[in-house]
């Protein structure tokens, strides 16, 4: 039997002082939602926590996400299970109500790992994934235009069977070019998990996470016996030193407590174990 654990984050972007406690409360709620499902397994807990955060308007995922350079919300999400390395991602979504649901559908379908844009929307409709009018993601255009940098929401869970899962969802970076895909739907970049070692999820400048293959590097370090706290800190040092990039990571090792490290002024996170 493993000791169940869940860690959730609400992004490592520069948060206006006035929003900090509100964002922390949103992340705490997501932790509670995810933790209440831990008995259904790691995947359910991680996905439900992220699904909840897609509905928190102050977090950069789903409703309230940042705008691209056309003033449109384009969403990315990813999910992975560490038992058999199954993964699913969905990118550049404009009309999928819960991007994390589509990432799960891509993973469960199993033919591909990543679907984007129009084809991803068509697949979502065919699979009965809830769709939405793109306007519902914009709650406060002024605020969403002004989000600095950006954020992501993510969760990593370990259940009593020792299964580990990770889920992530984001609006990406503010002012991004239409069609830009970040690290969040890409296994190995924004997230990775292998039950034998642990699971990780990142937030920050997606281009840097992709170039460093950072999530995969972290799990390889766990595989080589580096302790979880050093892996998390080392990843953020590497992100800063190699590419001068802002970011944060959360990590759940095979055994032991979750970790959270970031090099930005704030990254709301919460855990349960």
> Do the beta carbons of residue 92 and residue 116 sit within 8 Å?
yes
Q: Which of 121, 152, 169, 259 touches ligand ASP by CB under 6 A?
A: 152
Chain positions 108 to 137 lying near ligand ASP, rule: CB under 6 A, are none
Could you tell me which stretch among 29-37, 78-86, 138-146, 148-156 binds ligand ASP (CB under 6 A)? 148-156
Binding of ligand ASP by 264 (CB under 6 A): no
Collapsing DSSP to helix, strand or coil, 244 comes out as coil
Q: Which of 206, 253, 258, 268 touches ligand ASP by CB under 6 A?
A: 206
| Residue (of 255, 190, 197) closest to 222 by Cα position | 197
Binding of ligand ASP by 68 (CB under 6 A): no
Q: Which of 10, 11, 88, 99 touches ligand ASP by CB under 6 A?
A: 11
Chain positions 175 to 204 lying near ligand ASP, rule: CB under 6 A, are 182-184, 190, 203-204
Binding of ligand ASP by 10 (CB under 6 A): no
Q: Which two tokens stand for residue 106?
A: 């891509």
How far is Cα 209 from Cα 160, in angstroms, rounded to an integer? 30
CB atoms within 10 A of CB 242: 12
> Do the beta carbons of residue 223 and residue 229 sit within 8 Å?
no
Scan for tokens 């493993």, then name that residue: 2
How far is Cα 15 from Cα 21, in angstroms, rounded to an integer? 10
- Beta strand ranges found along 191-256 (DSSP E): 191-194, 198-204, 247-253
* CB 181, min distance to ligand ASP, A: 8
> Do the beta carbons of residue 266 and residue 246 sit within 8 Å?
no
Consecutive H or E run containing 121: helix 117-126
Binding of ligand ASP by 150 (CB under 6 A): yes
Q: Which is nearer to ligand ASP, 124 or 181 (CB)?
A: 181
Q: Which is nearer to ligand ASP, 4 or 182 (CB)?
A: 182
- Cα–Cα distances in angstroms (integers) from residue 116 to residues 6, 9, 54, 158, 242, in the given order: 29, 24, 18, 29, 29
Number of residues binding to ligand ASP, judged by CB under 6 A:
17
Residues identified as active-site: 152
Could you tell me which stretch among 46-54, 114-122, 134-142, 146-154 binds ligand ASP (CB under 6 A)? 146-154
Contact residues for ligand ASP (CB under 6 A)?
11, 13, 149-152, 170, 172-173, 182-184, 190, 203-206
């Amino acid at each position: 039997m493993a000791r169940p654990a869940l860690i959730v984050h609400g992004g490592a972007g520069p948060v206006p002082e006035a929003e900090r406690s509100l964002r922390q409360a949103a992340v705490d709620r997501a932790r509670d939602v995810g933790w209440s499902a831990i008995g259904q397994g790691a995947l359910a807990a991680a996905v439900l926590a992220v699904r909840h955060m897609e509905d928190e308007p102050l977090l950069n995922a789903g409703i309230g996400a940042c705008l691209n350079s056309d003033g449109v919300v384009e969403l990315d999400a990813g999910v992975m299970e560490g038992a058999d390395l199954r993964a699913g991602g969905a990118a550049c979504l404009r009309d999928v109500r819960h991007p994390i649901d589509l990432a799960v559908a891509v993973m469960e379908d199993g033919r591909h790992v990543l679907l984007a844009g129009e084809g991803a929307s068509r697949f979502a409709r065919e699979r009965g994934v809830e769709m939405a009018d793109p306007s519902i993601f914009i709650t406060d255009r002024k605020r969403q235009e002004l989000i600095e940098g950006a954020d992501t929401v993510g969760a990593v869970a370990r259940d009593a069977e020792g299964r580990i899962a990770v889920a992530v969802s984001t609006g990406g970076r503010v002012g991004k070019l239409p069609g830009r895909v970040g690290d969040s739907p890409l296994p190995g970049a924004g997230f990775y998990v292998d039950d034998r070692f642990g699971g990780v999820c990142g937030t920050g400048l997606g281009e840097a996470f992709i170039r460093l293959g950072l999530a995969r590097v972290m799990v390889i370090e766990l595989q080589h016996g580096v302790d979880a706290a050093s892996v998390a800190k080392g990843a953020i040092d590497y992100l800063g030193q190699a590419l001068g990039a802002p970011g944060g990571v959360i990590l759940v090792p095979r055994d032991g407590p979750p970790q959270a490290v970031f090099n930005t002024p704030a990254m709301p996170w919460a855990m349960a174990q």
